[in-house]
Amino acid sequence: MPLTRKAYRAAILHSIADPAEVGIEASYEYFEDGLLVVDNGQISALGHASELLASLPADIEITHYQDALITPGFIDTHIHLPQTGMVGAYGEQLLDWLNTYTFPCESQFADQAHAEEVAEIFIKELLRNGTTTALVFGSVHPQSVHAFFEAAEKLDLRMIAGKVMMDRNAPDYLTDTAESSYLESKALIERWHGKGRLHYAVTPRFAPTSTPEQLTLAGQLLGEYPDLYMQTHISENLQEVEWVKELFPERKGYLDVYDHYQLLGERSVFAHGVHLCDDECARLAQTGSAVAFCPTSNLFLGSGLFNLPMAEKHKLNVGLGTDVGGGTSFSLLQTLNEAYKIMQLQGARLSPFKSLYLATLGGARALRLEERIGTLQPGTDADFLVLDYNATPLLSYRLKQSKSIAETLFVLMTLGDDRTVAQTYAAGNLVHQR
């Protein structure tokens, strides 16, 4: 194959560390007039345009963006493919919401054609919002995962997904068995895991919908394929936490259920964690597990406020999740808007650089993919975005008043949404253009 080399010139910003660990100033790199060089889907150089231009061949194609900011692609560490059609459903908290809206919506994925149609809409929506990698729940039906991976593979996207395992406390039309969930997951792993930029996640929905037998087999799958992911929910809602105690009275608490079945580990991501205690945060950190912080969902379903400072104290990996359809937007910019408010309600501040970290490098670390995605470091996959400072009249006017990159970044996260994403690139390919 001939070498395809392209360069992109604009203001460029990326996270290089967690501000909670190194301080804000050491946590990012910003190039006011930067240049990003991409060779065959990977970033080969990043720096000031004035320093890099001289080293490039005269005939290289350089795309120059005015009034724009290049950042790494956003990483969504918790989202549900089958809930796309019920986002913004009225009036319930978690458990009633599942029964009233979620389960009937997910039942439609028994139909292959429906699964394929929604997978296309879902991936377009992710890319329109600048999300280049997501950790995705399918439905209980294997075809939901086949459809998603087929659509993602066509665009060479870095995506992670799994078939939901659910053998109790759900409608009969939506349950599998411990044995069938194991065999169907295994077949999906063999077909998709490690193919191109795709990865598989063992996906028990949450402790209440899996029998001990099913959780045992979920742990067995992780033992059989050491580089698999595991995703589930934890401590989202107080009623749910009490229900888990009733179902598993022999365990110390919610996290201990998953711990007992060997579901904690370096590629395990637990969604929400709103009501975790100190000891549970410490145990998650000790095992290298991560939590997906889902602000729009936690507010929409009235679940509670995630304690980010407690997670930071324990050096627990935290990514950001939209949690569509409990969450109300595919946009991680909008998700950060709500995250800021959740911190404000707890008397804590969320700096725009910490926000950028959560949406990019923090998500990559939660997924153990920081060598590949989450930054614009040379050698990583060329997954990046072009954010348009003039996306809306209000944004354009407001950014003209901005005195610093910190202010600009914060305004993008407060006023920005899908319209702000002018272009999305994955593995160096343009996969969305507004």
Chain-centre distance for alpha carbon 243? 27
Between CA 77 and CA 86, with CA 83 as vertex, the angle to 5 degrees is: 130
* Residue with the two structure tokens 């072009």: 386
The amino acid at residue 385 is: L
In sequence order, what E strands does 228-296 have? 229-234, 268-272, 290-293
What pLDDT score was predicted for residue 108?
Answer: 87
> Same domain, yes or no, for 224 and 299?
yes
User: What is the DSSP pairing of strand 159-162 with strand 164-165?
Assistant: unpaired
Q: What is the DSSP letter of 275?
A: T
Q: Are residues 229 and 274 in the same domain?
A: yes
Q: What is the CATH number of the domain that holds 299?
A: 3.20.20.140
**For the residues of 59-86, what is the DSSP string, one character each?**
T-EEEEEEEEEEEEPEEEEEEEGGGGGG
Has residue 23 been placed in a domain? yes
Q: Is 103 helix (H, G, I), strand (E, B) or coil?
A: helix
Indicate if 63 and 82 belong to the same structural domain: no
The pLDDT value recorded for residue 91 is 73
Is residue 104 in a domain? yes
89 is a domain residue: yes
- What whole-number distance in Å separates Cα of residue 148 and Cα of residue 414? 30
Q: Say which CATH number the domain at 429 has.
A: 2.30.40.10
**372-386 confidence digits (pLDDT tens):** 999 999 999 999 999
Give the confidence band of 235 by pLDDT, cuts at 50, 70, 90. very high
Q: Are strands 384-388 and 61-72 parallel, antiparallel or unpaired?
A: antiparallel
Q: Which two tokens stand for residue 198?
A: 């795709």
The residues that bridge with 135 in the sheet, in sequence order, are: 160
Which of 265, 324, 272, 267 has its CA nearest to residue 298?
Answer: 272
If one compares 90 and 387, the residue with the highest pLDDT of the two is 387
- Do the domain assignments include residue 118? yes
Estimate the crossing angle of helix 332-345 against helix 405-415, to 10 degrees: 100
Same domain, 297 and 390: no
Q: Are residues 94 and 217 in the same domain?
A: yes
Final residue before a domain boundary, out of 308, 330, 352: 330
Kindly tell me the number of DSSP H helices and DSSP E strands found in the chain.
18, 16
User: Is 406 within a domain?
Assistant: yes
Per-residue model confidence as pLDDT tens digits over 94-112: 778 788 888 888 888 888 8
Indicate if 158 and 33 belong to the same structural domain: no
Asked if residue 49 is part of any domain, the answer here is yes
Q: How confident is the prediction for the chain on average, in pLDDT?
A: 95
What percentage of the chain reaches a pLDDT higher than 90? 88
**Domain residue limits at 33:** 5-72+376-433
Q: Same structural domain for residues 86 and 65?
A: no
Domain closes at, from 274, 306, 330: 330
The mean pLDDT of 260-272, rounded to a whole number, is 98
Asked if residue 429 and residue 285 are part of one domain, the reply reads: no
- Asked whether residue 111 falls in the same domain as residue 198, the answer is yes
pLDDT tens for each residue of 323-372: 998 899 999 999 999 999 999 999 999 999 999 999 999 999 999 999 99
Q: How far apart are CA 340 and CA 410, in angstroms?
A: 10
In a domain, 359, yes or no: no
Cα gap 185→200, rounded to integer Å:
9
Q: For position 1, what pLDDT does the model report? A: 45
* pTM, rounded to two decimals: 0.96
Phi and psi of 291, rounded to 5°?
-120, 140
Q: Are residues 64 and 152 in the same domain?
A: no
Q: pLDDT tens digits for 21-79? A: 999 999 999 999 999 999 999 999 999 999 999 999 888 999 999 999 999 999 999 99
Decide if 425 is inside a domain.
yes
Same domain membership, residue 120 and residue 81: yes
> In the prediction, which pLDDT does 3 show?
61
Residues 163 and 144: their CA atoms lie apart, in Å, by: 7
Q: Which of 298, 330, 362 is the last residue of a domain?
A: 330
DSSP character for 186?
H
Integer CA distances (angstroms), 233 to 178, 241, 251, 254, 331, in order:
18, 11, 17, 10, 21
Number of structural domains (the chain) is 2
Angle between helices 405-415 and 393-400 (to 10 degrees): 160
In this structure, are 114 and 68 located in the same domain? no
